[in-house]
Structure 1
Amino acid sequence: MATGTTPYLFTRCAIARHPPRPGVCRLLPLSRLSLLCIGLLLLLLAGCSSQKTIATRDDGPAIDGNNLSIDRILVMSAAKDALGTPYRWGGSTPAGYDCSGLVQMAYGKIGISLPRTSNDQFHALDEIDVARPGDLLFFGSGSRATHVGIYMGDRQMIHAPGSGRTVTVSSLDIRYWRQHYLGAAAPAN
């Protein structure tokens, strides 16, 4: 943009080949702040359009074991036994878990070894379209997973939510989880 020029926004008309009639087309000057606001709004709208939906398949609480493999039941049982355990960054023992440590422990009970971080788990496993009880749910932004939980059925997941909290069950219908959902994976049959 040349020095001393002001960007304009066309209103009430399309760009015409001939000079517009008076009153048909007006130009409104735009400040740098206005341009910044318009740009941020466009980025926000673009980000919203690529949001995934958390697709699940179950008919109620999964811990009942209806049509689930013993591996899935054992994974969910191990995670459920950790309820109330304090969050500990980098933790993977009963003294404290972080989200990926909880998942490692639960899947370790059935002999499945998973990478240490949620992002490494996300990129190491094949994505599935619909989560079933016992599957992993990944959250973050872009292609970087920053959180993982175990789907328990009834649109609930068990996870280690963060500093100062304990392993807990949370609803997938919470806005934060819907907005940050990246995908699901099924390490167990």
Structure 2
Amino acid sequence: MVVATLLPVPTNPERRAALTDAGLAILAEEGARGLTHRAVDDRAGTPRGTASNYFRSRDALLEALVARIGERLAPDPAVIEPWARRRPGRALMRDYVGYIVERLTREREVTLALFELRLEAARRPEVEQLLGTWLREGFAADVAFHRSTGMAGGRREIALFHYALDGLMLDRLTTSIDAGTSTDAVVRQLVDRLMPD
């Protein structure tokens, strides 16, 4: 009887980042159906088989893409840490929500890839489990940050902001119902209407 040995997964962080960034670009441009190990290698400019060496299965690749989305969309601590010392209120919430929208807009490809993964999660329970866990952990962190700053409102208000911002980003990154209204104006109105005095 021959026992197969598994080769260790390569750990070069720069190569891993390049592969996952290529995967996110494919998701943003072609959707989940275009996401294959071969397509990732082609997009990253790596030899065929490289993506398979780093991510042994499609599920492993998807898990790595979710982690990379988290890395690329993570807030800069130097920006948000000083907010904990600011006076709670609408001005602080406007800055907070505006910063979220700015990051999602700046990282357009990553945000579109995230929307594609959310659509894939509606079709595949294993993706729903992976992405759902990640989304709920992010939401819990948002609620904890909101509480740490002492801003009014709570879990429900933060959920309403998530729902509104998801819709706003879908509108701004795809086909808009009202492209003439500035995103900053929408953010101000959302905060003023959703945040208690």
Question: TM range, normalised to the smaller chain?
Answer: under 0.3
**TM-score, normalised relative to structure 1:** 0.26
Pick the structure with greater CA Rg.
Answer: 1
**TM-score, normalised relative to structure 2:** 0.25
